[in-house]
């Protein structure tokens, strides 16, 4: 039985009280918060004693003082994206720097140096440096979420490390607090004084006395990140730590995984941002040939040599979005490709390098094997495909997952081919397989065998992991490589430090720890005295036989999750039939467990995921935090009845159900759907509020209200009514509500535009227009406009309505009921709609909708409501107006005569349009307008998200979401025509621009209609 881990003790109570009294930071000691900080991107989990999110340096120093007083450990954390368990600890107070300690403290462009706080994210730093033509070149794949403090902690390295090195090669200075509370500046040896100098003298003496061991046992590869950098006085890396071979004491802390000191700030060496890049894609007939060629290719001076193997190529080719890009890189059917990048100040000098690559391949017996890509747009697309391949691999459903534990062993290039061959044999012997990718340039190929960490015994992940790790380690030793070449040690590789360096150097590492952190305050159990990597008690999914085996509590779900309820074959990766995975929650828990904590949802750049995190920067309000909270509840780790508890309600409260994660999360975590499932159980336990009922049943009473608009609109007219509605219903008084009107779509439509069912079914060009409640009752013009555009282009247009032929009103997709947690009612509504649409869909006629969240319900949630084949048939024909028109235009069936526009057109995509790839079609359609140059606003969710933004408790967050990029972009373009297809997006834009410069966005249908010639 899985028990709630480590509840409050007297000590933790005291710690919590002191932190609250003596710091201004956010202090979290509840089980759910601790659970959200119990994992990183590794296979491990341990509930920390508590969490502090410091608001200032003073908070950190106060926390260090309290911890020292109480003899409690501290664990500094950035993005929590470590792959080896560096940021998990069952005894420490976790201190999260990423929310507040994230500023640039000093930028010196002339010396090309920047000083930053530890919680600053790499991409954010590089965005700020771009205008100066500079960048920090340690380009880790997690650049959108990795913090500089965490990168230094792990001695991280990126795809271009062959050109720029690891963190250790690019850190100039580090200011840090020791466990006695003193602040020490670590930097170049001659500049040191006081405590820093004492430390340097101590380490130097240690290094000198271990010179023989250091020379013999430190791997000579650049990608060695294990242990402490005791070689700063006599660098063993093939790339010296400093350009002039001088000694820099800061390098001792790089890679120390928060075990020696707490980083306060980092001074980093910057590089010129390369202005030009060219790419050569080398196609290989065998994987081995690619591995053998890498050592020769690096001599040409590339900035990156990245591998994509056959499995990844096939994954990309199988994906319609990536196939065209991948095809441009291939010559025939290669077994592997190497992406060879050269970069510099300008393009011209790079072209000869590309030619030399072509010649080299000819010399190696592979003439005609290089696809030359001097064009940066094509290169960018290909890099995207390479990243996406990994994402697809990580999205494997079932309990077996690609596990990272030997994925960054580094071997000298001349042995790469033999090493990869031998490791492939090891995998085969253990009944699994690895997909190879990444940094061929530095001998660090990523590979993750598929293992089931939940299983015990010989077939279990722990046993296989140990066996594979031991055989891989023997290979690493044979080829004189580094066991830990990128991701650090943590819990996973700690035990291999002594194996790698020998007992004497291990003792020397211990002496360093003792000297800098005699109280063992900082991240104990990492690097020094680490546990066994396969200690099941430390796993996120402890197998049977562990003290606290992982379990899923039985749950009868209201939505169909059977697609996740599968198992997979570790060799072929084929999955079993839906519903056969053995999950007692029908696949819901398995869907939740898809989150592997990589932290991608913490990114801030383009894409939708995750608006609530972008506004709050809270782990509780990011997809990962929500998935972890759900997982812990579903497995009984948050106590009884946790799934319907306030802890879950709070973590899902700010989820705007934008479906950004469904599209952007590498493993496809679909939190919007999970929220629906939760909501239905939560409401079943706690009951519906008046507001829930009012919103859910809107489609039911809309007809009545539209007949009494003067009464229905009193809330926005009568003084005090808005205030009363806030008190009574929780609807924000600061919001206007949609205006009721009597001229609904259902009342006054031009019948000449419409065809009856029989004519529609017989017409050569036809479409069924699905007019939803919102467009039908509040914005009838949109429905009329769509009908006119379709009619004008020669389509027979049919509208399904209840009581057909008698203006009986709208059908409903069930969305308002779904959002409120009324799944049965939603099922009833959408089922009726599907029944009405079925004859047309069966006849191959498109179902065309206007409101993204309503139409796309047919393609998404309706398929999870147990409605069977009829739902699939309708879903297959359900299209947004722009999707339909774009496809028809491409097929030569839609070519309207439109007047031209002079004004710029700004487009805001509804989140669900983005999630379903329906934004490019609107751009396609807008481009049919002569003279139009539509521009897509680089926005996440508008913040309104159905009823979310109307609620008083969400108003501020809702407006902050709008202010992230949408409203600023609109303000910058006062002349532009604004196009937004979402009802709530249009409302948010109107509300957010209220006042002098009031702006109104329109549905694309209305723009097209207004331009019909
Ligand atoms: C999908 C994926 C891809 C990855 N790709 C790469 C890659 O290309 N290259 C690479 O090198 N790594 C990679 N990683 C690993 C990881 O992202 C990097 O190590 C990253 O730099 C960690 O940054 P973070 O902010 O998440 O650090 P965290 O995981 O939060 O912390 C890392 C370590 O630093 C310590 N630390 C953090 N802040 C401080 C501080 N203020 N003082 C002292 N110690 C501190 C922590 O205690 C911990 O030991 C990848 C991980 C994933 C999941
Ligand atoms: S929710 Fe998705 S993106 Fe976020 S950490 Fe989990 S797997 Fe990564
Ligand atoms: S649905 Fe949107 S708000 Fe909710 S977790 Fe996913 S990305 Fe975040």
The Cα 422–Cα 956 span in angstroms is 58
Q: Please return the burial class of 671, using the count of CB atoms within 10 Å of its CB with bins 0-12, 13-18 and 19+.
A: buried
Average pLDDT, the chain: 94
Q: Which ligand is nearest to the Cα of residue 608, counting in written order?
A: 3
The Cα 1004–Cα 913 span in angstroms is 13
The structure tokens 């969400």 sit at 954
- Closest residue by Cα to residue 702 from 740, 749, 748, 747: 740
pLDDT band at 996 (very low <50, low <70, confident <90, very high): low
The Cα 997–Cα 973 span in angstroms is 11
What residue's CA is closest to ligand 3, atom 5? 623
Ligand 1 binding pocket includes 85 (Cβ within 6 Å): no
- Token pair of 179 as six digits: 């466990």
Whether 520 and 512 have beta carbons less than 8 Å apart is answered as no
- The best mutation among 73, 79, 82, 105 to test binding of ligand 1, ranked by most ligand atoms within 8 Å of the C-beta, falls on 82
Residue 568 backbone phi and psi in degrees, to 5: -130, 165
HSE toward the beta carbon, residue 67, CA cutoff 13 A: 32
Q: How far is the CA of 647 from the centre of ligand 1 (A)?
A: 28
Atom of ligand 3 nearest to the CA of 613: 8
The structure tokens 């069924």 sit at 768
- Token pair of 481 as six digits: 């490589």
The Cα 357–Cα 766 span in angstroms is 55
Q: How far is the CA of 691 from the centre of ligand 1 (A)?
A: 44
pLDDT (tens digit, 9 = 90+) per residue, 862-890? 999 999 999 999 999 999 999 999 999 99
Atom of ligand 1 nearest to the CA of 261: 43
Ligand 1 binding pocket includes 119 (Cβ within 6 Å): no
Ligand 1 binding pocket includes 263 (Cβ within 6 Å): yes
Share of the chain above pLDDT 90, in %: 86
1005, pLDDT greater than 60:
yes
- Closest residue by Cα to residue 147 from 78, 232, 248: 78
pLDDT value at position 4? Answer: 41
Ligand 2 binding pocket includes 665 (Cβ within 6 Å): yes
Q: How far is the CA of 43 from the centre of ligand 2 (A)?
A: 14
1010, pLDDT greater than 50:
yes
| Residue 322 C-alpha from the chain's centroid | 19
Quote the DSSP letter at residue 536. Answer: G
pLDDT (tens digit, 9 = 90+) per residue, 400-454? 999 999 989 999 999 999 999 999 999 999 999 888 888 888 888 889 999 999 9
The Cα 36–Cα 626 span in angstroms is 8
The Cα 812–Cα 800 span in angstroms is 11
pLDDT band at 542 (very low <50, low <70, confident <90, very high): very high
Lowest pLDDT segment from 140-154, 519-533, 794-808: 794-808
pLDDT value at position 896? Answer: 94
Q: How far is the CA of 80 from the centre of ligand 1 (A)?
A: 6
pLDDT value at position 805? Answer: 46
Whether 278 and 347 have beta carbons less than 8 Å apart is answered as yes
| Beta carbons within 8 Å of 247's beta carbon, 6+ residues apart | 188, 189, 200, 232, 233
- Token pair of 661 as six digits: 């994660």
pLDDT (tens digit, 9 = 90+) per residue, 294-339? 999 999 999 999 999 998 898 888 877 788 899 999 999 999 999 9
What residue's CA is closest to ligand 3, atom 6? 661
Mean pLDDT of 930-942: 94
The Cα 115–Cα 106 span in angstroms is 5
pLDDT value at position 806? Answer: 47
- Token pair of 632 as six digits: 């812990």
Whether 542 and 551 have beta carbons less than 8 Å apart is answered as no
Q: How far is the CA of 965 from the centre of ligand 3 (A)?
A: 17
Pairing verdict, β 846-849 and 766-770: parallel
Concatenate the DSSP letters of all residues of 674-733 into one string: HHHHHHHHHHHHH---HHHHHHHTHHHHHHHHHH-HHHHGGGGTSTTHHHHHHHHH-B-T
Alpha helices (runs of H) in 635-686, residue ranges in sequence order? 646-653, 660-664, 671-686
| Residue 866 C-alpha from the chain's centroid | 30
995, pLDDT greater than 80:
no
pLDDT band at 389 (very low <50, low <70, confident <90, very high): low
Alpha helices (runs of H) in 4-121, residue ranges in sequence order? 10-22, 31-36, 57-70
375 vs 150, which has greater pLDDT?
A: 150
3-state helix, strand and coil shares in percent for the chain, rounded to the nearest 5: 45, 15, 40
Q: What is the dihedral of CA 573, 578, 580, 585, to 10 degrees?
A: 120
- The best mutation among 38, 78, 516 to test binding of ligand 1, ranked by most ligand atoms within 8 Å of the C-beta, falls on 78
Whether 251 and 187 have beta carbons less than 8 Å apart is answered as no
| Residue 898 C-alpha from the chain's centroid | 41
pLDDT value at position 997? Answer: 65
pLDDT value at position 322? Answer: 81
CA distances from 822 to 561, 656, 682, 702 (A): 18, 17, 11, 18
Q: Give the H/E segment covering residue 363.
A: helix 351-363
In DSSP terms, which residues pair with 171 in a beta bridge? Answer: 268
Q: Which residues of 85-109 are buried (b: 16+ CB within 10 A; e: fewer)?
A: bbbbbbebbbbbbbbbbbeeeebee
Reduce the DSSP state of residue 257 to 3 states and report it. Answer: coil
Ligand 1 binding pocket includes 444 (Cβ within 6 Å): no
Could you tell me how many helices (H) and strands (E) the chain has, helices first? 42, 26
Mean pLDDT of 259-279: 97
pLDDT (tens digit, 9 = 90+) per residue, 90-135? 999 999 999 999 999 999 999 999 999 999 999 999 999 999 999 9
Mean pLDDT of 575-596: 97
pLDDT (tens digit, 9 = 90+) per residue, 157-199? 998 999 999 999 999 999 999 999 999 999 999 999 999 999 9
HSE toward the beta carbon, residue 225, CA cutoff 13 A: 32
| Residue 487 C-alpha from the chain's centroid | 19
Ligand 1 binding pocket includes 166 (Cβ within 6 Å): no
Alpha helices (runs of H) in 73-180, residue ranges in sequence order? 122-129, 148-154, 161-164
199 conformational bin, left if phi > 0, alpha if psi -120 to 50, beta if neither: alpha
Q: How far is the CA of 78 from the centre of ligand 1 (A)?
A: 7
Ligand 2 binding pocket includes 596 (Cβ within 6 Å): yes
pLDDT band at 530 (very low <50, low <70, confident <90, very high): very high
What residue's CA is closest to ligand 1, atom 52? 598
The Cα 862–Cα 866 span in angstroms is 8
The Cα 651–Cα 671 span in angstroms is 11
CA distances from 794 to 336, 762, 785, 845, 895 (A): 50, 14, 14, 14, 10
Ligand 2 binding pocket includes 39 (Cβ within 6 Å): no
Which protein residues touch ligand 3 with a CB less than 6 Å away? Answer: 609-612, 623, 626, 655-661, 671-672
pLDDT value at position 721? Answer: 87
Q: How far is the CA of 236 from the centre of ligand 3 (A)?
A: 46
pLDDT value at position 395? Answer: 81
The structure tokens 């403290």 sit at 105
Whether 731 and 855 have beta carbons less than 8 Å apart is answered as no
* Omega prior to 365 cis, within 30 of 0: no
The Cα 512–Cα 229 span in angstroms is 10
Considering Cα of 819, then 824, then 828, then 834, what sign does the dihedral take? Answer: positive
Ligand 1 binding pocket includes 153 (Cβ within 6 Å): yes
Mean pLDDT of 666-674: 93
What residue's CA is closest to ligand 3, atom 8? 610
pLDDT value at position 336? Answer: 96
439 vs 504, which has greater pLDDT?
A: 504
């Amino acid at each position: 039985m899985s028990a709630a881990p480590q509840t409050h003790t007297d000590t933790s109570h005291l710690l919590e009280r002191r932190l609250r009294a003596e710091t201004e930071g956010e202090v979290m000691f509840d089980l759910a918060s601790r659970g959200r900080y119990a994992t990183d991107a590794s296979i491990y989990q341990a509930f920390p004693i508590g969490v502090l999110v410091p608001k200032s340096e003073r908070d950190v120093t106060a926390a260090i003082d309290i911890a020292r007083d109480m003899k409690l450990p501290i664990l500094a954390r950035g993005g929590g994206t470590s792959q080896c368990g560096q940021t998990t600890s069952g005894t420490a107070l976790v201190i999260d720097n990423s929310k507040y300690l994230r500023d640039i403290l000093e930028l010196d462009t002339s010396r090309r140096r920047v000083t930053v706080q530890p919680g600053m994210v790499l991409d954010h730093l590089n965005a700020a440096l771009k205008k100066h033509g500079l960048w920090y070149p340690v380009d880790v794949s997690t650049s959108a979420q990795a913090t500089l403090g965490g990168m230094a902690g792990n001695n991280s390295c990126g795809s271009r490390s062959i050109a720029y090195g690891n963190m250790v090669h690019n850190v100039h200075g580090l200011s840090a607090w020791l466990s006695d509370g003193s602040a020490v500046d670590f930097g170049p040896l001659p500049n040191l004084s006081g405590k820093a100098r004492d430390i340097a003298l101590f380490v130097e003496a240690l290094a000198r006395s271990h010179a023989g061991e250091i020379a013999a046992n430190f791997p000579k590869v650049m990608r060695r990140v294990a242990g402490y950098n005791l070689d700063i006085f006599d660098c063993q890396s093939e790339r010296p730590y400093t350009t002039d071979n001088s000694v820099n004491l800061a390098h001792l802390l790089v890679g120390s995984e928060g075990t020696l000191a707490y980083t306060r700030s980092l001074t980093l060496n910057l590089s010129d941002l390369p202005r030009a890049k060219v790419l050569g894609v080398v196609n290989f007939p065998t994987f081995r040939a690619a591995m053998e060629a890498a050592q020769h290719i690096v001599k040409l001076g590339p900035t990156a040599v990245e591998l994509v193997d056959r499995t990844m190529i096939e994954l990309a080719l199988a994906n319609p979005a990536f196939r065209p890009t991948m095809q441009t890189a291939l010559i025939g059917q290669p077994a592997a490709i190497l992406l060879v990048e050269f970069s510099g100040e300008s393009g011209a000098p790079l072209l000869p390098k590309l030619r030399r690559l072509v010649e080299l391949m000819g010399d190696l017996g592979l003439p005609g094997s290089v696809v030359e890509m001097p064009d940066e747009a094509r290169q960018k697309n290909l890099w995207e495909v390479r990243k996406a391949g990994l994402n697809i691999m990580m999205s494997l459903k079932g309990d077996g997952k690609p596990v990272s534990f030997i994925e960054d062993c580094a071997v000298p290039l001349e042995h790469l081919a033999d090493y990869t061959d031998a490791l492939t044999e090891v995998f085969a012997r253990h009944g699994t397989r690895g997909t190879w990718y990444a940094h061929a340039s530095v001998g660090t190929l990523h590979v993750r065998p598929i293992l089931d960490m939940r299983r015990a015994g010989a077939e279990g992940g722990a046993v296989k992991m140990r066996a594979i790790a031991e055989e891989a380690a023997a290979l690493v030793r044979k080829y004189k490589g580094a066991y830990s070449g990128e991701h650090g040690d943590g819990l996973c590789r700690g035990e291999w430090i002594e194996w790698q360096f020998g007992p004497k150097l291990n003792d020397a590492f211990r002496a360093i720890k003792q000297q800098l952190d005699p109280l063992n305050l900082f991240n104990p159990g990492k690097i020094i005295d680490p546990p066994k990597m396969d200690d099941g008690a430390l796993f996120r999914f402890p197998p049977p036989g562990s003290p606290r085996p992982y379990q899923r509590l039985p749950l009868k779900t209201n939505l169909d999750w059977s697609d996740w309820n599968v198992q997979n074959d570790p060799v072929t990766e084929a999955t079993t039939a839906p519903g056969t995975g053995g999950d007692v929650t029908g696949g819901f828990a398995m869907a939740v467990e898809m989150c592997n904590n990589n932290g991608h949802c913490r990114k801030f750049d383009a894409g939708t995921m995750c608006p609530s995190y972008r506004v709050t920067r809270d782990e509780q309000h990011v997809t990962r935090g929500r998935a972890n909270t759900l997982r812990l509840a579903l497995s009984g780790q948050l106590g009884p009845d946790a799934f319907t508890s306030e802890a879950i309600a709070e973590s899902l409260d700010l989820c705007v159900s934008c479906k950004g994660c469904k599209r952007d999360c590498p493993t496809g975590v679909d939190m919007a759907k999970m929220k629906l499932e939760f909501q239905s159980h939560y409401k079943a336990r706690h009951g519906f509020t008046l507001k829930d009922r009012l919103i859910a049943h809107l489609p039911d009473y809309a007809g009545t209200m539209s007949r009494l608009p003067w009464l229905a609109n009193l809330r926005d007219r009568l003084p005090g009514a808005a205030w009363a509605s806030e008190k009574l219903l929780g609807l924000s008084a600061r919001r206007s509500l949609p205006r009721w009107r009597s001229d609904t779509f259902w009342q006054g439509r031009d019948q000449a535009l419409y065809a009856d069912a029989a004519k529609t079914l017989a017409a050569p060009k036809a479409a069924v227009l699905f007019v939803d409640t919102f467009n039908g009752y509040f914005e009838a013009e949109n429905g009329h406009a769509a009908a006119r555009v379709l009619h004008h282009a020669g389509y027979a247009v049919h509208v399904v309505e209840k009581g057909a032929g008698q203006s009986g009103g709208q059908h409903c997709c069930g969305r308002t009921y779904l959002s409120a947690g009324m799944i049965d009612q939603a099922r009833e509504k959408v089922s009726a709609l599907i029944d009405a649409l079925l004859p047309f869909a069966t006849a191959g006629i498109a179902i065309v909708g206007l409101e993204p969240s309503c139409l796309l319900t047919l393609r998404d949630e309706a398929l999870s409501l147990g409605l069977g084949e009829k739902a699939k048939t309708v879903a297959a024909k359900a299209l947004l107006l722009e999707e339909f028109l774009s496809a028809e235009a491409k097929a030569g069936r839609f070519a309207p005569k439109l007047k031209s526009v002079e004004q710029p057109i700004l487009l805001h995509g509804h989140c669900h349009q983005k999630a379903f790839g329906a934004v490019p079609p609107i751009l396609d359609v807008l481009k049919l307008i002569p003279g139009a140059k539509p521009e897509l606003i680089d926005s996440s969710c508008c913040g309104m998200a159905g009823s979310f933004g109307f609620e008083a408790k969400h108003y501020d967050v809702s407006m902050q979401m709008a202010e992230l990029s949408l409203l600023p972009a609109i303000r910058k373009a006062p002349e532009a025509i604004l196009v937004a297809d979402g009802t709530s997006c249009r409302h948010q834009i109107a509300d957010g621009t209220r006042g002098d410069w009031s702006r109104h966005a329109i549905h694309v249908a209305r723009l097209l209609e207004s331009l019909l010639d």
